[in-house]
A and B are shown apart, each in its own frame.
Chain A
Amino acid sequence: MTTTVYVPRDAAALSVGADAVAAAITREAALAGRAVRVVRNGSRGMLWLETLVEVVTEAGRIGYGPVTAEAVPSLIANGMLDGGDHELRVGVVEELPWFRAQNRLCFARVGVTDPLSPEDYRAHGGLTGLRRALEIGPAATVAEVTDSGLRGRGGAGFPAGIKWKTVADTPGELKFVCCNADEGDSGTFADRMLIEGDPFCLIEGMTIAAFAVGATEGYIYIRSEYPEAVRTFRRAIDIAYAQGWLGDDVLGSGLRFDLMVRVGAGAYICGEETSMLESLEGKRGVVRAKPPIPAITGLFGKPTVVNNVLTLASVPAILADGGAAYQALGVQRSRGTQVFQLAGNIARGGVFETAFGISLRDLVEEHGGGTLSGRPVRAVQVGGPLGAYLPASGLDLAMDYEAFAEAGAMLGHGGIVVFDDTVDMASMARFAFSFCAEESCGKCTPCRVGAVRGVEVIDRIVGGEDVDDNLALLGDLCELMTDGSLCAMGGLTPNPVRSALQHFADDFTPRRVTP
């Protein structure tokens, strides 16, 4: 009898030796005279357990982690292939509390299936959403997405249905669907894991979007820092064409949709949608002034849907189960589920998909297990490099767009970066400015010059130079960047700076030389 063993192919798992683990399992099983089929799945998202090996048994998929290649001989000797006991055995994966506490819609198949198997995709509900869309027609598809309350998962949270309707209502022979996979925020990796773990879901979501708005060409802009995602997605597109899921006659419906991968080139600003469009056009990734909005004048001046990976990957489930089922999840105007990402100095980091409204403290302390170092949590940054720093005392905050906006913070792309009590918040504030200086596209002065001046002012403050005057100057500078910048890069850089000053003022007292 052949035993099926899952070993993830996700980049995070590869980064801690998953390939070597897979090779060791094949080798050791052969030595033990056991027939095994090693399937390379996506990651379950419990990244502290990577490499998480799963063995299919009658009791379910039994997990072992974190497994190293060196541990494989002992695991197999102890009966891992029959689900046997071992210190690395974690039990049936789907019954782990961390896993059961989630509500996986977007990530339903990630870690479960072989990401590049069309049979797996179909067997786990794939294509149901697209078939339904083709059945009910474009207008009803847009209406379903609008009714679901789905908001853009890239950070801005714009209602997806309204964006789609604008594109659908704008006349044009040529329209585009662009997927923004330039996931540059530190602390975020859900887009990458979805692309590597369930690429067909994203292809299906983009195809539904194209059908809904009347687009015939799609582009996915993946950052160059994600070579595994690029490789996986290119292979997935080839397979999808061969299956008739893309091309001149999608699923025999007569729908034409072509999908291409474009790779970024190391510019954070290209995650801003207009800058990404410039980059897709082969230009410098310089931000465009809005209006005109991309929905009307987008890629090459044509009507264009620009959505984040998770937004588009949420669409197949919405179409399959209906907008109302999605709308039933979440709180107030934040509907459905959000894929939170626990990162930084965290004991149990990974992706955690659940309905909006869970508290930040539950995520960080209960599910995340506090810091990796074992020291007290001091600060948490939510929403990427442009998100606010929250103090350990401020974690009783509901994870939804409006609650965060009220607290002067933002949810962004759902990234949560934890710091322990050794962090120097003045240096984090300085880093926010220096990051902005490094990554600014240079088009508008508040961002281009303001970021450089910000670094200088913080250096003077911690250096003890005219502290009060320089603090006032820093306040002015933040206000100017917030009000005067063309896009969120310059406009939101003051977020981490101001929140650091507000909650960790002691760190800004002149007590040492600048790092």
Chain B
Amino acid sequence: MTVVERVLAVIEAHRGDRGALLPILHGIQAEFGYVDQSVIPLVAKELNLSRADVHGVVTFYSDFRSEPPGRVTVQLCRAEACQAVGSERLVEHAEAAYGVKVGQTGADGVVTLAQVFCLGNCALGPAAQVNGRLHGRLDPARLDGVINAEYEARTS
């Protein structure tokens, strides 16, 4: 299937939904890993919205990525409850160990480091979500273990 066909299939799946733009954008990100600028005119045309409207929505929400993520996406919680048990030390460790800053993907495309404000695991912090899976009571060694396991699962 071409990119256009894949995007149209996502839109079609939500044709009857009220206010379908968010579910469609989630669908596109699930399909491609990110929301490429080039799909915006097509989505806008199909939903009878202006391109500016769609662009505005895509850029408002921090979930929608404009570039492909690395093999392992690490979302580190930096909200108060995790700060109270040392999340900032975990952030420092991750930035140093993987050579990326929060919000970036490494040049080798392995790790994407992101920050998140609360994963709802506030009694078992510091918490992180790695490729969509939640982990608690993290320290640098445990975080490295989780990242390595996810990397191996993605490459084997």
B39 within 8 A of A: no
Give which listed residue, B17, B53, B63, B81, contacts A343 with CB less than 8 A: B81
- A265 and B22 contacting across the interface, CB-CB below 8 Å: yes
A187 within 8 A of B: yes
- B124 and A266 contacting across the interface, CB-CB below 8 Å: no
Q: Are A267 and B122 also in contact (CB < 8 A) when A187-B80, A262-B23, A431-B83 are?
A: no
Closest B residue to A261 using CB positions: B23
Size of A's binding interface in residues, CB under 8 A: 61
B137 within 8 A of A: yes
Closest A residue to B59 using CB positions: A284
- Interfacial chain A residues near B81, Cβ < 8 Å: 186-187, 343-344, 415, 417
B117, B118, B133, B137: most-surrounded residue (chain A CB, <10 A): B118
CB distance from A176 to the nearest CB of B (A): 9
Assembly CA distance A438 to B114 (angstroms): 14
- Interface stretch of the complex, out of A200-208, A220-228, A447-455: A220-228
- Interfacial chain B residues near A188, Cβ < 8 Å: 118, 120, 122
- Interfacial chain A residues near B22, Cβ < 8 Å: 262-263, 265, 279-280, 282
CB distance from A415 to the nearest CB of B (A): 7
A326 within 8 A of B: no
Q: Are A418 and B120 also in contact (CB < 8 A) when A265-B25, A265-B63, A267-B62 are?
A: no
- A15 and B123 contacting across the interface, CB-CB below 8 Å: no
CB distance from A123 to the nearest CB of B (A): 28
Assembly CA distance A425 to B91 (angstroms): 20
List A257-295 residues whose CB lies under 8 Å from chain B.
260, 262-268, 279-286
B21 within 8 A of A: yes
List B6-49 residues whose CB lies under 8 Å from chain A.
17-23, 25-26
Closest A residue to B56 using CB positions: A284
Would you give the 0/1 interface string for A12-51, flagging 1 where the beta carbon is closer than 8 Å to chain B? 1011100000000000000000000000000000011010
Q: Are A342 and B134 also in contact (CB < 8 A) when A186-B81, A431-B80 are?
A: no
A435 within 8 A of B: yes
- Interfacial chain A residues near B110, Cβ < 8 Å: none
CB distance from A178 to the nearest CB of B (A): 12
Closest B residue to A186 using CB positions: B79
Q: Are A267 and B60 also in contact (CB < 8 A) when A225-B119, A343-B123, A346-B123 are?
A: yes
Q: Are A184 and B62 also in contact (CB < 8 A) when A228-B134, A279-B22 are?
A: no
- B57 and A284 contacting across the interface, CB-CB below 8 Å: yes
Q: Are A344 and B60 also in contact (CB < 8 A) when A184-B117, A282-B21 are?
A: no
Size of B's binding interface in residues, CB under 8 A: 42
List B123-156 residues whose CB lies under 8 Å from chain A.
123-125, 127, 129, 132-137
- B84 and A423 contacting across the interface, CB-CB below 8 Å: yes
- B62 and A265 contacting across the interface, CB-CB below 8 Å: yes
CB distance from A185 to the nearest CB of B (A): 7
Q: Are A282 and B20 also in contact (CB < 8 A) when A15-B134, A184-B117, A227-B132 are?
A: yes
CB distance from A274 to the nearest CB of B (A): 14
Assembly CA distance A184 to B21 (angstroms): 22
Assembly CA distance A260 to B17 (angstroms): 10
- A266 and B63 contacting across the interface, CB-CB below 8 Å: yes
- Interfacial chain B residues near A385, Cβ < 8 Å: 79-80, 117
- B62 and A12 contacting across the interface, CB-CB below 8 Å: no
Assembly CA distance A188 to B123 (angstroms): 9
- B120 and A226 contacting across the interface, CB-CB below 8 Å: yes
CB distance from A40 to the nearest CB of B (A): 16
- Interfacial chain B residues near A189, Cβ < 8 Å: 120-123
Assembly CA distance A188 to B138 (angstroms): 19
Assembly CA distance A475 to B125 (angstroms): 33
B100 within 8 A of A: no
- B120 and A225 contacting across the interface, CB-CB below 8 Å: yes
Assembly CA distance A341 to B121 (angstroms): 11
Assembly CA distance A32 to B81 (angstroms): 42
Assembly CA distance A185 to B119 (angstroms): 10
CB distance from B142 to the nearest CB of A (A): 10
A420 within 8 A of B: yes
- A47 and B123 contacting across the interface, CB-CB below 8 Å: yes
Assembly CA distance A188 to B120 (angstroms): 6
Closest B residue to A221 using CB positions: B22
Assembly CA distance A266 to B26 (angstroms): 11
- A341 and B135 contacting across the interface, CB-CB below 8 Å: no
Would you give the 0/1 interface string for A431-443, flagging 1 where the beta carbon is closer than 8 Å to chain B? 1000100110000
Q: Are A349 and B124 also in contact (CB < 8 A) when A225-B119, A372-B85 are?
A: yes
Give which listed residue, A47, A264, A284, A420, contacts B84 with CB less than 8 A: A420
CB distance from B55 to the nearest CB of A (A): 10
- A435 and B124 contacting across the interface, CB-CB below 8 Å: no
Q: Give 11 A-B contacts (CB < 8 Å), ordered by A residue.
A: A12-B121, A14-B133, A187-B118, A189-B121, A225-B118, A260-B17, A265-B63, A341-B123, A343-B123, A417-B84, A435-B79
Given contacts A268-B117, A282-B22, 11 further A-B contacts (CB under 8 A): A12-B123, A16-B135, A189-B123, A279-B22, A282-B21, A283-B21, A344-B80, A345-B84, A346-B123, A417-B80, A419-B84
